[in-house]
Amino acid sequence: MNTKTQNRRFVVIGGVTAGINAAKAVKRYDPDTEVVVLEKREFIAYDTSSLPYYIANVMEDHRQLIELTPERASQELHIDVWTRHEAMAIYPAENRVIVLDRETGEEKTLSYDALMIATGGVPIAPPIPGINLPNIFQIRTLADGINLKQYMVEHAPSKVTIIGGGYLGLEMAEACNALGMEVTILEKFGNIMGSMGSEITALIETDLREHQVHLLKDVSLKSFEDVDGKCGHVMTDGEQHRLETEIVIIAIGVRPEIALARGAGIEIGNTGAISINTSSQTSIENIYAGGDCTEVTHLVSGEKTYLPLATTAHKQGWVAGRNIVDPGCCVFKGAVGTSVTKVFDLEIARTGLSLMEAKRLGFEATTATISADSRVKTYPGNETITITLILDKKSKRLLGAEMGGREGVAKRIDVFATALYNQMTIREIAQLDLSYSPPYAPPWDPILIAANAGIKKLI
Residue 335 DSSP label: B
Binding mask 101-140 for ligand FAD (x = CB under 6 A): -----------------xxxx-----------------xx
* Three-state secondary structure call for residue 289: strand
Residue number with CB closer to ligand FAD (292 or 295): 292
Give residues 136-165 in contact with ligand FAD (rule: CB under 6 A): 139-141
Nearest to 252 by CA among 140, 141, 136, 124: 124
Closest CA to 267 of 278, 255, 277: 277
Backbone phi, then psi, for 297, in 5-degree steps? -80, 130
Question: Binder to ligand FAD among 11, 45, 87, 336 (CB under 6 A)?
Answer: 87
Number of residues interacting with ligand FAD: please give it, by CB under 6 A.
34
232: amino acid identity, one letter: G
CA 43 to chain centre: 19
Q: Is 452 in the site for ligand FAD (CB under 6 A)?
A: no
Give the span between the Cα atoms of 246 and 232, in whole angstroms. 6
Contact with ligand FAD (CB under 6 A) among 22, 25, 36, 51: 51
β-bridge pairing 136-138 and 121-123:
unpaired
CB of 17 to ligand FAD, least distance (A): 3
- Return the number of the residue (101 or 226) whose C-beta is nearest ligand FAD: 101
Angle (CA) 130-131-133 rounded to 5° is 70
> Which one among 174, 187, 225, 257 touches ligand FAD, defined by CB under 6 A?
257
Residues 301-340 within binding reach of ligand FAD (CB under 6 A) = 308-311, 313
**Mutual orientation of helices 167-178 and 198-210 as an angle, nearest 10°?**
20
The distance of closest approach from Cβ of residue 36 to ligand FAD in the complex, given in angstroms and rounded to an integer, is: 11
Binding mask 23-42 vs ligand FAD (x if CB under 6 A, - otherwise)? ---------------xxxx-
Q: Rule CB under 6 A: is residue 18 a binding residue for ligand FAD?
A: yes
Nearest to 286 by CA among 29, 6, 9: 9
- The CB-of-376 to ligand FAD minimum distance in angstroms stands at 30
Instruction: Return d(Cα 181, Cα 211) in angstroms, integer.
Output: 11
CA distance 21 to 90: 21
CB of 391 to ligand FAD, least distance (A): 25
* Interface with ligand FAD, residue 169, by CB under 6 A: no
Chosen residue from 8, 10, 11, 13 binding ligand FAD by CB under 6 A: 13
Residue type at 227?
V
Kindly write out the interface string for residues 259-278 of this chain, putting x where it contacts ligand FAD by CB under 6 A and - elsewhere: -x------------------
Cα(first)–Cα(last) distance of the chain, in Å? 52
Q: Which amino acid would we find at residue 300?
A: V
- Which is closer to ligand FAD, CB of 307 or CB of 449? 307
CA distances from 164 to 141, 206, 306, 339, 416 (A): 18, 18, 18, 18, 27
Q: Based on CB atoms, which residue is closest to ligand FAD, 149 or 222? A: 149
Residue 11 within binding range of ligand FAD, rule CB under 6 A:
no
Residue 48 engages ligand FAD in binding (rule: CB under 6 A): yes
Task: Summarize as ranges the residues that interact with ligand FAD (CB under 6 A).
Answer: 13-19, 38-41, 48-49, 51-52, 86-87, 118-121, 139-141, 168, 257, 260, 291-292, 308-311, 313
